Chains A and B, each alone.
Chain A
Amino acid sequence: MTPTKGLRRPRLTALAGLAAVVGPGLLAGLSDDDPAGITTYSVLGTDYGYTFLWVLAVSTIALVLFQDLGARIGVVTGQGLAGLIRQRYGARAGVLSITALFVANVGTTTAEFAGIAAGGQIFGIPRVISVPVAAVLVSLLVLRGGFRRVERVLLALSAVFIAYVGAGLLAGPDWGAALHGLVVPTLPTSSDAILICTATLGTTLAPWGLAFIQSYSVDKKLTSHHLGLLRIDVITGAVLTGVIGFFVVISCAATLHARGISITDASDAAVALEPLAGRVATELFAFGLIGAALLAASILPLSTAYSVSDIAGRPAALDDSFRDAPLFYASFGAVTVVGAGLVLIPGISLVPILVGTQVINAVLLLPLLAYMSGIARDRKLMGDYAAGRAVSSTYLVVIALITICILALGVLSLPR
């Protein structure tokens, strides 16, 4: 044993404890900054400058609240979200949730692989190479890697997000305007503005992220002793997600918005950055895009596999072998293969798939949040950790807010 040295030891122990817990919050949070998220933030910055940065701040707060709740439910009950929905709300709710979740996750995975394809093209790599390589890489990592290893690699992967901070700094933003936009809410008035604000909320708080954080806390065998450290992990993850979003928005606001350029997706943003902020900014942006897509493309099939095996009543863990958990690995494979396959079909338009996915995610989010707050209040499931009145009403306020956004989105999206 190493001898105890004055004050240093307690701090080291605390750090070691944190290192053991860290993961669920960081991974679930950061993977929300996937290509779909980056695209949304880019459009938000490009079209509206710094005006709606406060929407990002609000989304981040909602993310903290519900990721924290998801992690807590996972730790206290030792069960995944899908299984608990089945147990608490019955078979119909369970089947509908898992079906929607599965379809939406396949769609989102498609979006991740599309992001990898787009990011690869910036570096001159054709999609027929980048997408299969990414799919194999991700599957090998998760299927052959083993639990602790996967986590470390994924966390290392998320370091690419620093790229966005770099791109944001290179863009030379107007910090005063950014701060103003962040703290002073300006209500969106045009329908396009409402659309992009809702999309920002929707892309930050994703159903699969909520399902993932809970399943992953269960798989990590965290106990109630870890709740304090886990909260640090969750808050760090969510805040980092917000910070990265912030830098994406300001890099687009300072360059593309200032010049009146408009874009349709994140790789447009990367390309458009070149004449304004230099080739390095473009490459940083594209690099971040690929890294983000890889991270999310690992987490999405995993989140789906956890949910499917959990609801089917065959709890599975990353440590299980294929023989022990065929359903787990079959779901993982199905999501990856379909997601990557759709991107590779020549001549296919991904737009309907991506829009459809966003709609399912938005519609699924509401019942999922309602189920979560219901489970949080349930004394039978949560025991001493059941949410009190004050906390529950906070959840309800957030749910009401999101409902308004989604309804507004629904009304505005109707064909006119």
Chain B
Amino acid sequence: MATGAELPPRRSRVAAASRFLGVRRELGTSLVSVAGLVGRPVRGRGGELVGRLADVVVRSEAGYPAVAGFVVRIGPRRAWVHAQDVAGVEQGQLRLLSSRFDLQDVVRRPGEIQLVADVIDHQLVDVDGVQVVRAADLYLAAPGETWRLVGVDVSLVSFLRRALPGRPGRRPSPGRVLDWAGVHPFGIIGGPVRLSRPNSRVHRLRPAEMADLLADLGRAERRELLAALDTDAAADALEEMNATDVLAVLRDAPVERAAELLASMERDEAADALRDLPDDEREDVLRAMHDESARELRTLLTYEEETAGGVMTSGMVLVGSTATVGDAVTALQAAARHPDQPAEVVVVDQEGRLLDDVSVLELLGVDPGRPIAELVGPPWPVTVRPGAGLRDVVSTMTDNRGSSILVVDEQERPVGRILADDVIDALTRRDDRRWPWQRWIGTSS
């Protein structure tokens, strides 16, 4: 692998391209355009025409995959020529060492990529640049003895160039060339194997980046990428998507997978997504889900969307008033696995009624043996009822300058927490549903 960097910075594209161009100069003219090879003559030892090149096949492997062989069209047949039997690959033609052929029609084998059929003009994920691209051309080079796939050209110029007839259409025009090692192709038999390698760069993408990629991909490609992610990573990406995209992904997945993804999402986000599903599908998904998750989500679903209950998350750290500070710290640590958990612990009495909301700051430096009840005191937590409208939630939150407020039921029992970002989400969603003039003049109701 050419780059040793752990996590390449997002805008390293130009640097990568110029690095690649440097390599290209070293290679001289030995860079071969795969798109330019298609349809070119394949000649035997004596220079006689044997057939015409149809495809280039590489092994699906890490780094720069070696060319395994070529698909050659001989009359109506597509024959296989092993890479060993090729004397030279040039832009204009392919020269063979012998005229031995496997005249059986080529079959697609797992672990191999047909560059023309599978990659050129198809969607790819540029993992370093975090974008969906189409391959305009692929470049082969032979740094050692073997020909390897080294780069993907994604420039518009190269795509347009290929429409030109004759030699100009075949000449490599490396404009925006991506390092093949930083690209993820689709639709390849055995493809997900490549992805599931733990060090694959795809796994280092941030959830928001993954969400952008998933939204841009075609359906089959999206499905493939999603299938290759583990449930938590996929759920994190879903949380970053907009409601329509989430809905599309969930409805596209089998019910069991959808249930699994929803159960791994933040509760409030999952409830939002479920609200958008038609009744029967929502029921199917909930039934396929683990009992506890389904019960929590069903509770959230009983609240109207634009109320405190509809935007809150039911995940809270609850401790009884008899607990010690040490217990509270342990509970907080256990909950810290979820990145969205606020650094506060909710203290309740024996009947489950809210006593106080104690922040981690208040716990700092306090003897773990002390009862938490001793920390209960003003300032008292700000609360709203589940039925409170979005407007009340916003004003309560802005009046109190806190990062979160608690939602309590009629008996003062805490049922959930609303974080500032939940409110932002809800407001954005509502804004999306407005008419243009309402948004342009900034109507606030």
Contacts and interface: CB of A to CB of B under 8 A. Distances in A.
B163 A95 contact: yes
Interface residues of B, number: 45
A150 B436 CA distance: 8
Nearest to B165: A92
A383 B131 CA distance: 26
A141 B437 CA distance: 10
Contacts of A314: 131-133
B24 interface: no
B132 A313 contact: yes
A17 interface: yes
B220 A312 contact: no
A91 B436 contact: no
A149 B121 contact: no
A90 interface: yes
B436 A149 contact: yes
B251 interface: yes
A191 interface: no
A148 B429 CA distance: 11
B134 A144 contact: no
Given A95-B160, A312-B156, A313-B133, A149 B218 contact: no
Interface in B39-80: none
Interface stretch (A162-170, A219-227, A407-415): A219-227
B35 A79 contact: no
B439 A149 contact: yes
A94 interface: yes
Contacts of B247: 221, 223
B304 interface: yes
Q: Which of A17, A90, A220, A224 has the most CB of B within 10 A?
A: A90
Given A76-B219, A95-B159, A90 B121 contact: yes
Contacts of A144: 436, 440
Contacts of A86: 121, 134, 159
Given A76-B219, A78-B220, A94-B159, A87 B121 contact: yes
Contacts of A145: 436
Contacts of A17: 278
B29 interface: no
A279 interface: no
Interface in B226-245: 242, 244-245
Q: Which of B281, B302, B432 has the most CB of A within 10 A?
A: B432
Nearest to A327: B156
A128 B170 CA distance: 48
Contacts of A222: 248
A237 interface: no
B6 interface: no
A221 B244 contact: yes
B136 to A, nearest CB: 7
A152 interface: yes
Contacts of A223: 247-248, 251-252
B13 interface: no
Contacts of B160: 95
A78 B218 contact: yes
B219 A91 contact: no
B171 interface: no
A146 B432 CA distance: 8
Interface in B121-140: 121-123, 131-136
A315 B218 CA distance: 9
Nearest to A221: B248
A91 B162 contact: yes
A77 to B, nearest CB: 6
Contacts, number: 101
A144 B440 CA distance: 9
Contacts of B252: 223-224
Contact of A1 (B221, B302, B432): B302
B217 interface: yes
A361 B151 CA distance: 38
A13 B279 CA distance: 9
Contact of A315 (B156, B162, B216, B220): B216
Nearest to A91: B162
Contacts of B121: 86-87, 90-91, 94
Given A78-B217, A87-B121, A144-B440, A313 B278 contact: no
B432 A148 contact: yes
B424 to A, nearest CB: 17
A292 B219 CA distance: 33
B209 to A, nearest CB: 13
Contacts of A79: 123, 218-219
B218 A312 contact: no
Nearest to A312: B156
A125 interface: no
B435 interface: yes
A312 B156 CA distance: 6
A91 B216 CA distance: 21
Given A79-B218, A312-B134, A149 B435 contact: yes
B159 A312 contact: yes
A90 B187 CA distance: 17
Interface in A69-102: 76-79, 83, 86-87, 90-92, 94-96
Interface in A150-188: 150, 152-153
B434 interface: yes
Q: Which of B121, B123, B136, B156 has the most CB of A within 10 A?
A: B121
B278 A152 contact: no
A164 B131 CA distance: 46
A147 B217 CA distance: 18
B433 interface: yes
Nearest to A152: B435
B289 interface: no
A1 B154 contact: no
B215 to A, nearest CB: 7
Nearest to A315: B216
Contacts of A149: 434-436, 439
A183 B160 CA distance: 47
A319 interface: yes
A334 to B, nearest CB: 14
Contacts of B203: none
A95 B219 contact: no
Contacts of A313: 123, 132-136, 154, 159
Contacts of A221: 244-245, 247-248
Interface in B79-136: 121-123, 131-136
Contacts of B439: 146, 149
A147 B304 CA distance: 25
A317 interface: yes
Contacts of A90: 121
Interface in B244-301: 244-245, 247-248, 251-252, 278-279, 281, 301
A177 B143 CA distance: 78
Contact of A95 (B135, B162, B187): B162
A370 B156 CA distance: 25
Nearest to B251: A223
B65 to A, nearest CB: 21
Q: Which 7 A-B pairs have the closest CB atoms?
A: A313-B134, A78-B219, A95-B163, A91-B162, A221-B248, A78-B218, A79-B218
11 contacts: A77-B218, A78-B219, A87-B122, A91-B162, A149-B436, A153-B436, A224-B252, A313-B134, A313-B136, A315-B132, A383-B220
Given A17-B278, A77-B218, 17 more contacts: A1-B302, A13-B279, A78-B217, A79-B123, A86-B134, A87-B122, A91-B159, A94-B121, A96-B163, A144-B436, A146-B432, A148-B432, A152-B435, A223-B252, A225-B281, A314-B131, A380-B187
